[in-house]
């Protein structure tokens, strides 16, 4: 009855009383289609650790998520515009994309989070039973790995455009016994396999409706949608920069090995557009070995 309801509600009343700051934010969902979802955020500072909890609405029981303050590596606005209300909370292998309802609200939370981090660094609180320090090296490594993947993906998207730009690549693909120009690209299958092994929650399927694209472009659209989805996901915890570079180099070497066969056939046909396009693929992936 009422007594049991009060007993259940009590912990959350204490929680609200202890929160340093609380507000409703819009948080970008961690999965496709990446919608902005309204969530109630609270920052707590306790002897056992400082942390942020968020729920669908104030007063809900079980939180939807928890961000340990000791794991926060940085809090940065999307842009340097004075009217910017959006910001990012960076922790190892994940970025929280947030949108405040005002610039003042964003700045208040920025100050509150940084103050809470400072308290922990000064030894005023413990996180999960042990002190944790923000690591500039960790942040640099995570960001460098993300930038490496982004640059590789941008290169592959450029190559996609090269292959889809002229009908001669379709003709060359058919000459090679393939269905369309995109079959000349050895990299989608190899890099999809690689990315599914280094990203968290990467066992998803990609669907592109045929009525929205031509049959020739279907594989290209599926691959680019895959890249878009996977870029929003965190890299596996514990993945090292050197290991990522090694895996990319291995996949790139395989792309070069396969594409060099097409290169020799393209030279026999002696069409500049085809030869130049195939050469671009080989040159790009050789740079990654």
Sorting pLDDT into bands at 50, 70 and 90, what band is 267? confident
Task: Specify the pLDDT at position 123.
Answer: 66
Statement: residue 31 has pLDDT above 70: no
Q: What is the arithmetic mean of pLDDT over 5-15? A: 41
HSE of 184, CA atoms in CB hemisphere, 13 A: 32
Q: What is the arithmetic mean of pLDDT over 130-148? A: 61
The answer to whether the beta carbons of residues 162 and 282 sit under 8 Å apart is no
Least confident among 74-88, 95-109, 132-146: 132-146
Q: Give the whole-angstrom CA distance, residue 182 versus residue 49.
A: 52
The pair of structure tokens assigned to 47 is: 């002897």
218 preceded by a cis bond (ω within 30 of 0): no
Q: Give the whole-angstrom CA distance, residue 86 versus residue 77.
A: 6
**Greater pLDDT, 229 or 139:** 229
Statement: residue 209 has pLDDT above 70: no
Sorting pLDDT into bands at 50, 70 and 90, what band is 7? very low
Statement: residue 136 has pLDDT above 90: no
Q: Give the whole-angstrom CA distance, residue 176 versus residue 266.
A: 10
Q: What is the arithmetic mean of pLDDT over 53-61? A: 90
What percentage of the chain carries pLDDT values higher than 70? 83
Q: Which of 89, 86, 98 is nearest to 38 (CA)?
A: 98
Sorting pLDDT into bands at 50, 70 and 90, what band is 210? low
Backbone phi and psi for residue 276, each to the nearest 5 degrees, phi listed first: -65, -40
**Greater pLDDT, 18 or 59:** 59
DSSP category for residue 270? T
Q: Give the whole-angstrom CA distance, residue 131 versus residue 223.
A: 43
DSSP category for residue 89? E
Most confident of 141-145, 253-257, 274-278: 253-257
| DSSP, residue by residue, 222-236 | HHHHHHHHHHTSPBP
Q: What is the arithmetic mean of pLDDT over 147-174? A: 88
Beta bridge partners of 40: 24, 55
10 Å CB burial of residue 62 (0-12, 13-18, 19+) is exposed
Sorting pLDDT into bands at 50, 70 and 90, what band is 190? very high
Sorting pLDDT into bands at 50, 70 and 90, what band is 214? low
- CA of 3: how far to CAs of 8, 62, 103, 181, in Å? 9, 20, 42, 70
Mean pLDDT computed over every residue of the chain: 82
Q: What share of the chain is helix, strand, coil (3-state, %, to 5)?
A: 55, 20, 30
Least confident among 23-32, 115-124, 218-227: 115-124
Task: Specify the pLDDT at position 50.
Answer: 86
Sorting pLDDT into bands at 50, 70 and 90, what band is 131? very low
Q: Give the whole-angstrom CA distance, residue 279 versus residue 85.
A: 45
Q: What is the arithmetic mean of pLDDT over 63-91? A: 89
Q: What is the arithmetic mean of pLDDT over 98-118? A: 94
Task: Specify the pLDDT at position 195.
Answer: 93
């Amino acid at each position: 009855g009422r007594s049991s309801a009060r007993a259940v509600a009590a912990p959350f009343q204490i929680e609200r009383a202890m929160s340093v700051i609380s507000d409703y934010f819009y948080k970008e969902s961690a999965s496709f289609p990446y919608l902005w979802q309204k969530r109630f955020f609270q920052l707590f500072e306790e002897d056992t650790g400082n942390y942020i909890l968020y729920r669908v609405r104030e007063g809900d029981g079980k939180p939807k998520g928890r961000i340990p303050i000791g794991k926060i590596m940085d809090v940065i606005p999307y842009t340097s515009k004075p009217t910017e209300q959006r910001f990012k909370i960076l922790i190892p292998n994940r970025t929280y994309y947030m949108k405040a309802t005002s610039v003042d609200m964003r700045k208040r939370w920025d100050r509150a989070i940084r103050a809470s981090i400072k308290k922990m660094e000064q030894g005023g609180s413990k996180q999960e039973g042990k002190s944790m320090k923000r690591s500039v090296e960790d942040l640099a490594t995570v960001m460098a790995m993300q930038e490496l993947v982004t640059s590789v993906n941008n290169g592959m998207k450029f190559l996609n455009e090269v292959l889809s730009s002229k009908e001669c690549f379709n003709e060359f693909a058919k000459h090679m016994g393939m269905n369309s120009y995109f079959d000349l690209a050895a990299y989608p299958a190899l890099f999809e396999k690689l990315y599914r092994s280094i990203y968290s929650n990467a066992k998803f399927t990609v669907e592109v409706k045929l009525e929205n694209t031509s049959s020739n472009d279907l594989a290209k659209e599926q691959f680019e949608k895959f890249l878009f989805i996977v870029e929003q996901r965190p890299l596996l915890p514990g993945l090292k920069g050197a290991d990522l570079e090694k895996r990319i180099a291995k996949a790139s070497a395989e792309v070069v090995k396969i594409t060099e066969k097409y290169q020799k056939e393209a030279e026999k046909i002696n069409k500049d557009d085809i030869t130049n396009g195939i050469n671009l693929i080989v040159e790009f992936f050789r740079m990654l070995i």
